Each structure stands twice: as structure tokens, then as C-alpha cells.
Amino acid sequence: MAMSKMKLLITSILLIAVYTAATTEAAPPRGHHHIGVEEEADRIISLPGQPAVSFQQFSGYVTVNHLAGRALFYWLTESPHLPLSKPLVIWLNGGPGCSSVAYGASEEIGPFRINRTSSGLYLNKFSWNNEANLLFLETPAGVGYSYSNHSSDLFDTGDRRTAKDSLQFIIRWMNRFPRYRNREVYLTGESYAGHYVPQLARAIMHYNARSKQKINLKGFMVGNAVTDNYYDNIGTVTYWWSHAMISDRTYHQLINTCDFRRQKTSNECESLYSYAMDQEFGNIDQYNIYAPPCNKSDGSSGATHKTIRLPHRPHGMFRQLSGYDPCTEKYAEIYYNRPDVQKALHANTTGIPYKWTACSEQLNRNWNDTDVSILPIYRELIAAGLRIWVFSGDVDSVVPVTATRYALEQLKLTTKTPWYPWYVKKQVGGWTEVYEGLTFATVRGAGHEVPLFKPRESLQLFRSFLRGEPLPKS
């Protein structure tokens, strides 16, 4: 009898020990929330060649249109510091047709950089996930790993569908990640995301007006942003001339020949653009006119000039990116086509019939609808009280600072804080002016991808934006 009691006691102790061990092992790390089943399926354990990190990562697909079988790919890198207290920041790259994984995540604001051999990753100490939880979205379907089961979708997409699908993505993603439902949300991006971001912000505002479950959108920030056909193009030609990239003769011919208000350029105007790029620019990287281009082994430039199509001119995708290493885009194309990388990211699960590319030429060539101007959307969103920041790297000749200044001037905003230099580490990081409803800032010496060229300064810019504080005056 005593033996039976002893056996029962030992069994109970063993069961308690097993249960304690199991629950301890399953407990989330400190500062992290309980993870649901759907979230858990998207968890990234580790990427090939990834250094150890203290933050959680998730990636996968959200179907945004079941009928067409359109699914958008995302990659979430949470903050290593108290992620539950941090906002959600959604990053979009432009093109149209370019990947947020290739650019935003891998060479701008994400926590990792790809090494020269594409064999692994190293840490970016100026990653924006120091300040927020970052969600990189590949949109629309056809960009990066995002796909559609209707191949016709790749030939007739545009601004409207991109905004609609991206809104559906956020709604459905938040159902999968309920801990983000009431979190502050900010939208960010660059280049043609100068269309995507304000259009998505407006779509969210309209959705919130008719829905009980609202998205807690607080504001957006865009860099070197395509904004208005007419002013972008006038500003770009002016930049080329003022930075001695083109002759007086070509400048006057462009101004007098091209009707920048038209959606489609005349053959004469296109010939002038081609002449300027091929004969007068020389072998430069248009995305940072003072950086060395990525040269091929035969010494020729990696950049090529394609047919111009406003407002995407010059084509944002047909070049090798420049930066501290001007060939970074090549590393991404090797790394993200690796089967082990795709498996770790839960990507390409349906066997997409084409290689992953940083930008989709097919999408770009067949862009179906584009807003001539985003300025009316700015007026609507300023009136709605969103926090809006626009920034410009000042050595970009593709969507240059002059283009942005000409466009923003049309808003006729009241100046709150006049133009002043802002500082990082006792150096001028750029210049800024604060208006009623919008802050404009330049980043000194930065190209089209501001965080690639000026990571420390761009992190300060992001920090000030999130806090709603003016950039530091000293």
C-alpha cells in the first residue's frame, strides 16, 4: 500500500516536471506577445547565413483576391526593443514593379545586408526596426514573390488596383496578427511609392469611415517621391541643367519642345531625352550623380537607357544600384533565388514560373493607370490631420529635390518653421522647412535611395518623424 502511494507520488512529480518544462519552453521571449497558430506558421526561424538576432521575424503570403488568386508577399521584422510598445511601419518600394524586399529590406532600412558573395547576411546597425516594427510589402501582384494565378493581371495593373489590393492585404494581415490591430500605423516608401503611399493612405481613410474595425493610421512619409507629372518633369530637367549634366541648348530644347502636361511624350521630346542621357550625361549613375556606377567586367556601365515613359522616366529599374557598393542589387537577385532562402521565407510556395527579380519589367511596361498628380490627395490627407513628411536626397537626378519642391509649392501651405539646417553628429544632415500640415526635409549628399547612402541621417529623420518632432537644429 505504501509502495503504491510512493509510485503515485513519483508519477505526479514527474508529470508536474514535464508540464513545467513544456510550458517554460513554449513561453514567448520577454517583451513578446503570445503567437497565434497562423502567425506561427509564418515565423522565420533563421535565414541562410543570418547572424543571431534578438527580434522576431515573420513572412509569407496574404491572398487579397481569391477569384483571381492574387497573393501579396510580406516580411515583418519586429523591433528588438519592446516590440509591443512600438508602431507598425509599412514600407513600399516603387518602380512601379520594384520589390520592397530587394530595396527597402535588403539595402535601405531593414536589419540585414547581403554580403558580396550572396552567401549570407550581416547586420545594419542603422536599421529602422530600432524604432518600429517594419513590414515590407511586395505590391502589386507580380512584384518579387507576390503573384497572381491570372497571368493577365500582370498586363493590366496600375495605381487603382495596387491601392485596393494593398488595403485588402492590411485588413487580412491584421486578422492574422491581431496584436497589431490597434497599433499605430505609418506608411513609408520612396520613388513611385510617392503614388502608392498617399493612395493607400486615402484608401485606409475611406475604409475607416465605413468600418467598425478601423486601421489606426497616424501618418506617412515618402522620399524622392513621384508626385505630379508636370512639376516633376520641369523640376527634373531644371536639376539636370543646374547640375551641369546637360547643355544650355538641350535644356532650352526640352523646355520648349516637351509638353510636360501630357501623359505620353512626343517622339521629338523622347529623342531629346535620349540624346541628353546618351550623349551628355556620360557614364554616371542617375540615382546618385556623384557615386561611381556599377561597371561590368568589360568596363561598361551596368546602367542602360530604355524607352522613356513619363512619369516613370528615366526607367527606375534598368540599372545597377549605386551606393557604398554600387552592385548591391546583384547580390539580392542571387540570394533571393536560392531555394534554401525561399524555403526559410515561406516564399515561392506555388512555384512561380519566372525568377525572382528586383524589378518586374513586364509590370512596368504594362502599367495601366496612373494619377497625373497626387497633390489633390495631399490636400485631402492634410485636411484629415495625418502626419505627413516628404524628404529628398539631393544628389538624385531621377526624382530630384527641385521636382519635389516645385510640386509641394503648389499646395500653398503656410510656413510654421522657416528653412533651417538640421544636424547629425554636429554635421549638417540636410535642410528642412515645417509647414502647416506637412514637413519637408532634404538629406545632404543622399541619392534616390536615401537610407542606402545616408543611413545615420535617415534613421534620425525617421526617429523625428515617428515622434512628430522637428529635426534637430544643432
Query: What positions carry a catalytic annotation?
Result: 191, 396, 448
Cβ pair 322, 285 in contact under 8 A: yes
Cβ pair 238, 276 in contact under 8 A: no
| DSSP states of 105-122 | IIIISSSEEE-TTSS-EE
Residues 222, 158: Cα–Cα separation, whole Å: 19
Environment class of residue 165 by beta-carbon count within 10 Å: exposed (0-12), middle (13-18) or buried (19+)? buried
Per-position b or e across 62-92, b if 16+ CB within 10 A of its CB = bebbeebebbbbbbbbbbbeebeebbbbbbb
Residues 428, 77: Cα–Cα separation, whole Å: 30
Cβ pair 220, 184 in contact under 8 A: no
Residue with cell 534637430: 472
Q: What is the phi-psi region of residue 97: left when phi exceeds 0, alpha when psi lies from -120 to 50, beta otherwise?
A: left
Cβ pair 256, 335 in contact under 8 A: no
| Maximum Cα interatomic distance, the chain, rounded to a whole number of Å | 108
Cβ pair 166, 206 in contact under 8 A: no
Residues 359, 338: Cα–Cα separation, whole Å: 17
Residues 184, 219: Cα–Cα separation, whole Å: 9
User: Helix 229-242 vs helix 248-257: angle between axes, to the nearest 10 degrees?
Assistant: 170
